[in-house]
């Protein structure tokens, strides 16, 4: 077994994150508005079979994380999984994936900033949304610039709030089921509500398939754990625990919460326009349920923004380290606190477009289109990461006694096929067709540019 890396990496970034930080960052980066707000829509569309969708996606996301984990275990000094795409697929593919993923994180952060403004206005409708967003961006950027451990502590408590809310829902639901709670519509809370008049495709097979991309985006962000490994004190010790424990905790939180929701309120009674969490707590007689859930969703958005700032800074730093232009070196500076300060600050400055966009009412639809388009690209980046893992297994770097992906090569190949399947299911939902088409155009145009830019370098590498 290879020896543990030193406390500080070769790039002088401080390894100050602990296992509890990494665990919460991974959980917090994944559990968000997709569960608290979006789950009502997915349940309404597919009924109890949504549990199957979450389970299938959870399995494939776990396989992807095991692939990323295997490469990171062999080389924990890498700060993003995109670095492995450059290393094993080619500089062109890495250049494309790096910038695509970084832009996706920027747009994700901008979307979360917009959401934060709206959540705060729930209590203070007269407050200026742009000013709210600016304040949150400054505060969370500052926490990222101070030290990785400060970011870790902040994210730890953000994630804790979400987890407590989910556990409260599950605990409340179990009590309601145990006491035979009756809803205003006359239904008795029971686990039997899930299988009562069960249909696998209650609204048709297309609606069932159309739920896959919606749930996929709910899981999006699980890869954040791979970005934190480079700044943990004992990366090879933390990594296996972080990946193996995170996935089943997320499945418990997601599937457990959805089972409770459908047990209390039959799925046909769930209002897709309202958070199912609000509906359950309101039925339980909790006063101000909407306000409480608004607070939880606010922390979810802040958590996602916090993770996006952290991840975007590390990705821009990684792009700079690869040195594709003279300007790249400007974002590779490490501050005295051991963080890529310029890369974080530069990413946050671009995120300032969100407050500016919030001042233009007409930009709402265009902004959501851009956000959706960038999110679609994550599927392509994930697929490229799996290709990188396949090539890693056939490279001299392969660590036979490392943290290996189970079932290779079959699991690797079917995961790539699954990501292709997810991308094509995007076209089932009318609202996602234009963004998906935009992702294809981006891939063709920027992908061609990236290929041509590094064609000679990649050819020379293949000849070695």
Is the bond into 390 cis (omega within 30 degrees of 0)? Answer: no
Angle at 271 between CA 269 and CA 276, to 5 degrees: 100
What does the radius of gyration of the chain's CA atoms come to, in whole angstroms? 22
Q: Which two tokens stand for residue 48?
A: 């109890």
Using CA atoms, how far apart are residues 127 and 319, in angstroms rounded to an integer? 38
Q: Is residue 464 part of a domain?
A: no
Neighbours of 363 (CB within 10 A): 13
Q: Which two tokens stand for residue 166?
A: 């989910």
Quote the DSSP letter at residue 1: -
pLDDT of residue 405: 95
Using CA atoms, how far apart are residues 230 and 267, in angstroms rounded to an integer? 43
Q: Is residue 14 part of a domain?
A: no
Q: Which of 105, 101, 45, 110 is nearest to 68 (CA)?
A: 101
Q: Is residue 7 part of a domain?
A: no
Cα dihedral 17, 22, 26, 29 sign: negative
Q: Is residue 262 part of a domain?
A: yes
* Residue range(s) defining the domain that contains residue 269: 19-454
| Count of domains forming the chain | 1
Using CA atoms, how far apart are residues 56 and 331, in angstroms rounded to an integer? 39
pLDDT of residue 26: 63
* pTM assigned to the model: 0.83
DSSP 3-state assignment of 194?
coil
Using CA atoms, how far apart are residues 185 and 268, in angstroms rounded to an integer? 12
Q: Is residue 47 part of a domain?
A: yes
Which residues are bridge partners to 17 per DSSP? 232
Cβ–Cβ under 8 Å, residues 55 and 255: yes
What's the chain's average pLDDT? 81
Q: Which two tokens stand for residue 260?
A: 């409770």
Angle at which helices 91-123 and 364-393 pack, to 10 degrees?
Answer: 140
pLDDT of residue 274: 74
Using CA atoms, how far apart are residues 96 and 82, in angstroms rounded to an integer? 10
- Tell me phi and psi for residue 8, to 5 degrees: -110, 145
Q: Is residue 9 part of a domain?
A: no
Q: Is residue 256 part of a domain?
A: yes
Residues of the chain with pLDDT under 50: 1-7, 10, 365
Cβ–Cβ under 8 Å, residues 48 and 179: no
For residue 404, give the CATH number of its domain.
1.20.1740.10
Q: Is residue 2 part of a domain?
A: no
pLDDT of residue 358: 59
């Amino acid at each position: 077994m290879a020896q543990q890396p030193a406390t500080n990496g070769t790039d002088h970034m401080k390894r100050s994150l602990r296992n509890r930080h990494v665990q919460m960052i991974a959980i917090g980066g994944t559990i968000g508005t997709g569960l608290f707000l979006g789950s009502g829509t997915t349940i309404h569309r597919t009924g109890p079979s949504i549990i199957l969708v979450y389970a299938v996606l959870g399995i494939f996301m776990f396989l992807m994380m095991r692939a990323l984990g295997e490469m990171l275990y062999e080389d924990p000094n890498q700060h993003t999984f995109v670095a492995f795409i450059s290393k094993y697929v080619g500089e062109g593919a890495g250049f494309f994936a790096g910038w695509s993923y970084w832009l996706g994180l920027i747009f994700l952060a901008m979307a979360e900033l917009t959401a934060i403004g709206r959540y705060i206005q729930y209590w203070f409708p007269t407050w200026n949304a742009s000013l709210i967003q600016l304040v949150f961006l400054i505060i969370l950027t500052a926490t990222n610039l101070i030290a990785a451990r400060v970011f870790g502590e902040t994210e730890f408590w953000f994630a804790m709030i979400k987890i407590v809310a989910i556990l409260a829902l599950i605990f409340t639901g179990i009590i309601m089921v145990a006491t035979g709670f009756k809803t205003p519509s006359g239904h008795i809370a029971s686990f039997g509500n899930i299988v009562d008049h069960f249909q696998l495709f209650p609204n048709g097979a297309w609606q069932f398939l159309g739920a896959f991309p919606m749930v996929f985006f709910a899981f999006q962000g699980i890869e954040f754990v791979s970005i934190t490994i480079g700044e943990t004190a004992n990366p090879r010790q933390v990594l296996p625990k972080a990946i193996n424990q995170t996935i089943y905790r997320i499945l418990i939180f997601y599937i457990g919460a959805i089972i409770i929701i459908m047990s209390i309120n039959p799925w046909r009674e769930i209002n897709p326009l309202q958070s199912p969490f609000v509906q359950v707590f309101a039925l339980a007689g909790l006063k101000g349920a909407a306000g409480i859930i608004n607070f939880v969703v606010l922390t979810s958005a802040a958590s996602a923004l916090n993770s996006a700032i952290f991840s975007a800074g590390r990705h821009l730093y990684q792009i700079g380290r690869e040195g594709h232009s003279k300007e790249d070196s400007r974002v590779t500076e490490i501050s005295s606190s051991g963080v890529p300060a310029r890369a974080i600050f530069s990413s946050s400055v671009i995120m300032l477009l969100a407050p500016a966009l919030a001042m233009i009412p007409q930009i709402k639809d265009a902004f959501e289109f851009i956000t959706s388009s960038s999110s679609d690209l994550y599927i392509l980046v994930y697929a490229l990461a799996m290709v990188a893992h396949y090539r890693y297994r056939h490279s001299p770097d392969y660590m036979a006694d490392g943290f290996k992906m189970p079932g290779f090569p079959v699991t690797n190949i079917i995961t790539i096929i699954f990501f292709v399947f997810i991308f094509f299911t995007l076209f089932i939902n009318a609202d996602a067709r234009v963004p998906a088409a935009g992702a294809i155009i981006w891939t063709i145009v920027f992908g061609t540019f990236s290929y041509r830019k590094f064609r000679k370098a990649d050819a020379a590498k293949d000849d070695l």
